Amino acid sequence: MATSVLDHVLQHNAWANKTLLEFCDGLEPAALDLSVPGTYGTLYLTLQHIVGGEQFYIRLLTGEVLGAPVRKTERRTLEDLVAISELTSARAIAIAARDDADRVIAPGDDQTTVGIVLAQLIHHGNEHRAQATTILGAHGRTTPKIGAWTYGIVNGISRNDGD
Amino acid sequence: MTDFLLRQMRHGIWANERLLERCRALTDEQLDLTVPGTYGTIRKTLAHIVSAEEGYLVRLLGSLLHEPPLREPDLTLEGIAAHIAHVTNAVERLFAKGSPDPDRVIADTPLRRAGAPRFEMAAWAPAAQFVYHGIDHRSQIDTILSTHGLETLDLQIWPYAMELGASREVKETR
C-alpha cells in the first residue's frame, strides 16, 4: 500500500525534530540561551516547547503522557528531549495510520477532532523550528537543513534539494 | 472524508489570505521591514511563499498555472492576491478526482529552465514541502512583525478549525 502523504509529513516532522535537537546538542551550552525578539524565547525553551507541545497533543489524542513530562519549570537534557520526541512522533504516525481523522475528542470543554490535532502538531513543530533556525541565523550560526526536500534526500527517496 | 493533505493545503491558503489582509493594513515602509535570520522583507517573504506554492503545484499537476509562470517575484499585494487565487484553484484541481497517489513518480516540472538539472521525485515530496514551506516562512513574517512591535496573527490550526466549525467549545448542560 502506498504510504500516505500524511505519513510522510509526520515522518518529516519526526526527522526534523531529531535533526534540529541533535544539531543543537552539538553547540556549546551558552548557545542554547540565545534568542531574538519576536520568537518564542531562547533556543532551549523553543526546543523544549516543540517537544512539550507534541507530548500535549498526544495526550489530547490518547490520554497518555509519553516519556517524562516536559515542564517549563524543569530543564531536561536535549538527549531527553530527543527520546521523548521519538516516542511522541512514533505515536502520532501510528494514530494517523489507524485512527479516524474525523473522530471527535473533547479535551475539557473544547471539542475537536483527531485530524485537527494532528494538523496542529505539524503546524506547531514547523512554526517553532523556524523560530529556532531564525535564532541561529540571526546570530550568524550555521542552520541545519530541515525542510522536506532534505528529508527526502537523506532517506533516499527524493533527489531534489531545491526550495 | 476530506483528505488530510487537502485540509493542510487549504489551511495554508487560509493563513496566506489572513496574512495578506494584515499586510494591507501596513505601510510600504512596514512591508519592507525585516530581521536578520529570516528570508527577507515581509513583502518578499509573502511573495516567496505564494511563488513556491505555485511551483509545487505546477510539479504536482504537470502543467503551468498561467502564462507566463511566476519566477523570482517582485509582487505588489494585489499581485500576491492574484497568485493566491491561482494556488487555491490549483489545489482544488489537484484533489478534484480524489486523493493524489503519493508514490507517483513525477519525472520533471514544466518550470525547469533550459539546461537546469532534472529531478525525479515521488508526489508526496512537493506536497509535504508545500505544507512545511508555508509554515516556515509565515513564522518568519510573524517574527518580523513582533520584533518591530507590530500586531501579529494567530495562524495556527486551532483558529482555522474554529472558523470552519470543525473545532468548538461544547457547553455542557445538566
Superfamily grouping for domain B4-164: dinb family like domain (1.20.120.450)
In eight-state DSSP terms, residue B101 is -
Q: Which one of A2, A116, A127 has the shortest CB-CB distance to B101?
A: A2
Question: Predicted ipTM?
Answer: 0.71
Q: Is residue A159 in some structural domain?
A: no
**Full-model pTM:** 0.83
Chain B's closest residue to A138, CA to CA, is B37
* Of B140, B114, B161, B124, residue with least CA distance to B33: B140
- Give every strand in the sheet of A110-113, ordered side by side: A104-105, A110-113, B168-169
Q: Is residue A110 in some structural domain?
A: yes
Residues of B with CB below 8 A from A8's CB? 102, 124-125, 127-128
Subunit contact A130:B171, Cβ cutoff 8 A? no
Domain ranges, residue A40:
5-154
One digit per residue, pLDDT tens: chain A, 163 residues? Answer: 456 889 999 999 999 999 999 999 999 999 999 999 889 999 999 999 999 999 999 999 999 999 999 998 899 999 999 999 999 999 999 999 999 888 988 756 678 999 999 999 999 999 999 999 999 999 999 999 999 989 988 888 777 766 4
Measured CA to CA, the distance from residue A57 to residue A35 in angstroms comes to 25
Q: How many separate domains does chain A show? A: 1
Measured CA to CA, the distance from residue A116 to residue B154 in angstroms comes to 15
Measured CA to CA, the distance from residue B26 to residue B149 in angstroms comes to 12
CATH of the domain at A123: 1.20.120.450
Helix (H) or strand (E) holding A86: helix A78-98
Subunit contact A111:B125, Cβ cutoff 8 A? no
